[in-house]
């Protein structure tokens, strides 16, 4: 048995709680994690550390935010292989060229995210919201985080339109949640342009870039955006809000989308 096999199959024992000088056995396991390798047209494109569920949606979303595909019609075949650790994709003629020869950027996302460019796409139009609505949406997002309630240690993100929550996803990697939203939107034939993405995790540069490629006009976090993410938001015309709580939040870039 190889070390890689051990990493894939070994299950840890539940942790113990230390409190007031006593150790107590708990029954809650840590969140599951797998390394999923994405092979496109016979060549390895990326390996993503992620939560091992709906990996096809994750792979679709990764290809979408990297601007390799736009719709489901750009994919001829997808299959999950090797105990759900490999996703193989065959692209249709309508898809864009896969950037196998381009420099990969190892991002600051959990699990060492990968992207091929930090160029934003300008976002025009889309909805405007009042701060109170973003606060309500953040409460709804956190309330729906079933994986976090079960395991802890996972991030949650949601796509919100005029009528509220449209897609909710969870993953151990906060950058993966944006890919998952993109993939689920393709599978459900939902538009992302002009809408808002709310996340429980920090908004870093690659997450802001992913939002811009989806045409998202508002990005909001339970925590903070990075300095580079705010700079990219200014360039793309995306409103960025952080530390969204029940009764307050910080507006880092308004972009004409936050009504006060």
Q: What confidence tier does 83 reach under pLDDT thresholds 50, 70, 90?
A: confident
- Structural domain includes residue 121: no
Looking at the structure, do residues 135 and 216 belong to the same domain, yes or no?
Answer: yes
- Structural domain includes residue 230: yes
| Candidates 50, 81, 110, 211; catalytic one | 110
- Structural domain includes residue 155: yes
Q: Which among 174, 152, 183 is positioned nearest to 229, based on CA atoms?
A: 174
Reported as a single tens digit per residue, the pLDDT across 110-156 is 444 555 567 899 999 999 999 999 999 999 999 999 988 888 889 99
Say how far apart CA 157 and CA 174 lie, in whole Å: 8
Residue ending a domain, among 58, 81, 115, is: 115
State the total domains in the chain: 2
- 3-state SS class at 220: strand
The total of other beta-carbon atoms located within 10 Å of residue 53's CB is: 15
The pairing of beta strand 155-161 with beta strand 164-171:
antiparallel
Q: What confidence tier does 61 reach under pLDDT thresholds 50, 70, 90?
A: very high
81 given a catalytic annotation: no
CA angle 76, 77, 83 (to 5 degrees): 165
- pTM value? 0.87
């Amino acid at each position: 048995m190889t070390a890689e096999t051990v990493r894939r199959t070994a299950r840890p024992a539940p942790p113990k709680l230390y409190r007031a000088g006593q150790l107590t056995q708990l029954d809650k396991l840590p969140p599951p994690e797998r390394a999923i390798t994405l092979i496109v047209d016979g060549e390895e494109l990326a390996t993503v550390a992620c939560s091992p569920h709906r990996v096809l949606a994750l792979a679709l979303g990764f290809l979408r935010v990297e601007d390799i595909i736009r719709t489901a019609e750009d994919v001829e075949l997808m299959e999950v292989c090797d105990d759900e650790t490999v996703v193989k994709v065959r692209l249709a003629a309508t898809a864009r060229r896969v950037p196998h020869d381009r420099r990969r950027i190892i991002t600051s996302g959990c699990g060492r995210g990968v992207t091929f460019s930090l160029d934003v796409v300008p976002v025009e139009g889309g909805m405007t919201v009042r701060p109170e609505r973003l606060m309500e949406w953040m409460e709804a997002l956190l309330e729906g985080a079933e994986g976090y309630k079960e395991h802890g240690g996972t991030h949650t993100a949601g796509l919100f339109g005029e009528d509220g929550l449209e897609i909710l996803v969870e993953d151990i990697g906060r950058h993966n949640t944006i890919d998952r939203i993109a993939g689920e939107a393709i599978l459900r034939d939902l538009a992302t342009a002009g809408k808002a993405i709310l996340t429980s995790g920090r908004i870093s540069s690659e997450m802001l870039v992913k939002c811009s490629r989806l045409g998202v006009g508002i990005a909001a976090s339970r925590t903070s955006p990075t300095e580079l993410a705010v700079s990219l938001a200014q360039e793309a015309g995306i409103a960025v809000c952080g530390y969204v709580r029940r009764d307050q939040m910080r507006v880092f870039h308004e972009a004409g989308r936050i009504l006060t």
